[in-house]
Structure 1
Amino acid sequence: MGYDLEKKLVIAISSRALFDLENENEIFEKKGLDEYYKHQIEKEDELIEKGTGFRLVKNLLKINEDFPNDKQVEVIILSRNNAATSLRITKSIEKYGLDIARSAWSGGNDIAKYLKPFKVDLFLSANELDVQNAINEGIAAARILPYKNEEDEYSNQVKIAFDGDAVLFSEESEIIYKTQGLEAFLEYEKKNASNALQSGPFAQLLRVISNIQSKYPQEQTPIRTALITARNSPAHERVIRTLSQWGVRLDESFFLGGVDKYEVVEAFGADIFFDDQDVHLESTSKKTPSAKVPYHDDSILKKI
């Protein structure tokens, strides 16, 4: 019987999201594929610096220490590199002591089609097209933003922060706010307060995380989650009712009503923050690993 990924939290991450390969990417963009391959092969034994997603991955893999015979988290490298250039990446993984044994190297081809066979719950990449293709496949995905902090600390508790609308929930309410204004948005939320919000691209990921959390007493959970949203009272009521109907928990919730998010995200100590709007991510990514969710569903426009 094959190795079962079905009941694990499966994170697929590109090599450029895990490691700082921006210089190498610049070689690719300016000098082409052959020069990029040549560079990676020549630097095969040179350790690659940590990237935006490194802290998240390292902390997630620590969860498996509690389940030596039944891993809860599986991290897979899913990259557009080819097998020849993969050696530098896998050697760096080994040197950093990351328990990552599975990988796929597409040689430049679209990698979104491999996400479902690997049972992926979350895909992180620096490539905007790959992320959008993953979202189109129904997989929670986000584009990692540049971040570097030599003072990053690693812990036995992973902290993940989410925006609400267009991330955990559908963008239906956000579209009303953008197209019809605040008063229309508040009226719509008041009218639908008892109706659960539709699932967004990260709703299923939250459910998988909640399943891991349920195996621990709440005060000992290895994953702590937070909702950090621009919503405020009375629009927060629908969010609370939705999470209750979904049967999931968020450890902390912040309804900011337009207050800047970056200080709250930093105070929470997020290993990663997911949002769909550049206006928030430009600030958070300076202090916290952050990723953009490129979510948009044309079918919602027909309902409004």
Structure 2
Amino acid sequence: MVNLAPEKLVIAISSRALFDLDAEHLVFEKQGLEAYASYQIEHEDKPLERGQAFTLAKKLLALNETLEAPLGVEIVLLSRNSADTGLRIFNSIEHYNLPITRAAFCGGESPWRYIQAFGCHLFLSSEPDDVRKALENNVAAATLVSKPVTESDDAVIRFAFDGDAVLFSDEAEKVYKAEGLEAFTKSEREQRNQPLTGGPFKSFLSALHLLQKSLPEESPLIRTALVTARSAPAHERVIRTLRAWDVRLDESIFLGGLPKVEFLKAYDADVFFDDQETHCHLAADHVATGHVPHGVANEP
């Protein structure tokens, strides 16, 4: 990956994830591209409503007030709009005073191919096909499936991650799917000293960890949590894996199969990433939720 700004955490967000474009998309689906373009131009001075990723983006960009250059966070806008219809999106960015300056307007084409060129560590979108393409090209990516989140006065950004098929590979989950819980537990106990292979979000977690270490210890503005269905004794391999990666998580919650949503609410997560659609849809009403279409749980 070519990273234009290796000191920065770079996150790509699609226009439909940053802003609520559902009504506009309906015009496109029912009336076609020409009607959509006319609608956007007619309304280009009317700011768009906040989307699923808006609050997260705003809180991430606020970190730049604490971090010293060249460290920082950059948000890149990726859009299927043309530059012409995308003017309303940039006007909305200006209206909300978001310091976003880089963008790619792709005129109907998928924007995922610019993710690596911008040096992005993470891609958030509402288009599952674009997310899958990004994952296939080794970029952490998730399809946002939640509602727009109410803005919070809390400056701390809380990330929550599932383990298998998100932070870690799906090697253990394959054993569970194929042979059941007893075989999974036996396998994990036998391999407790063998670190798991990294999953699609390993590189993003590492970049986030480096940014965490650069923030003042007395005011930790980023917190990370593992929220996994694993339980003892399958917890040990996870702990040893993170230790081998030299990555620290602030919290680790081993649920032993309990539903995750109440724990996500208690943690007050700003965003949650999981590979299983069932978990995502349960969390979607309460926290910004990204489905990671990766691993055995997402195979046809």
SS in 2 for 1:258: coil
Aligned to 1:13: 13
Question: Does the CA-based 8 Å contact 1:59-1:154 persist in structure 2?
Answer: no
- Percent identity for Structure 1 against Structure 2: 47
Q: Does 1:249 align with 2:248?
A: yes
Residues in 1 aligned to 2:292 and 2:65: alpha-carbon distance in whole angstroms: 30
Q: Report the CA distance between 1:155 and its aligned residue.
A: 2.8
Structure 2 CA distance for partners of 1:154 and 1:81, relative to 1, 3 Å: farther
TM-score, normalised to structure 1's length? 0.93
SS in 1 for 2:49: coil
Q: Report the CA distance between 1:146 and its aligned residue.
A: 3.3
Q: Does 1:178 align with 2:201?
A: no
Aligned to 1:287: 286
Gapped regions of structure 2 (runs ≥ 5): none
Note the aligned Cα RMSD (angstroms).
1.7
Aligned to 2:197: 198
Question: Does the CA-based 8 Å contact 2:53-2:148 persist in structure 1?
Answer: no
1:204-238 C-alpha deviation (Å, 9 max, x unpaired): 00000110111235452221001000000000000
Residues in 2 aligned to 1:162 and 1:228: alpha-carbon distance in whole angstroms: 6
5 Å-filtered alignment, 1:144-293, equals: 144-149=144-149, 151-293=150-292
5 Å-filtered alignment, 1:48-197, equals: 48-67=48-67, 69-149=69-149, 151-197=150-196
TM-score, normalised to structure 2's length? 0.95
Residues in 1 aligned to 2:4 and 2:180: alpha-carbon distance in whole angstroms: 48
Q: Report the CA distance between 1:34 and its aligned residue.
A: 1.6
Gapped regions of structure 1 (runs ≥ 5): 299-304
Partner AA of 2:205 in structure 1? L
Residues in 1 aligned to 2:121 and 2:64: alpha-carbon distance in whole angstroms: 17
More off after superposition, 259-268 vs 217-226: 217-226
Residues in 2 aligned to 1:249 and 1:113: alpha-carbon distance in whole angstroms: 31
Partner AA of 1:7 in structure 2? E
Residues in 1 aligned to 2:176 and 2:270: alpha-carbon distance in whole angstroms: 29
SS in 2 for 1:220: coil
Question: Does the CA-based 8 Å contact 2:67-2:215 persist in structure 1?
Answer: no
Q: Report the CA distance between 1:39 and its aligned residue.
A: 1.2
The total of aligned residue pairs comes to 296
Residues in 2 aligned to 1:209 and 1:220: alpha-carbon distance in whole angstroms: 16
Residues in 2 aligned to 1:98 and 1:16: alpha-carbon distance in whole angstroms: 16
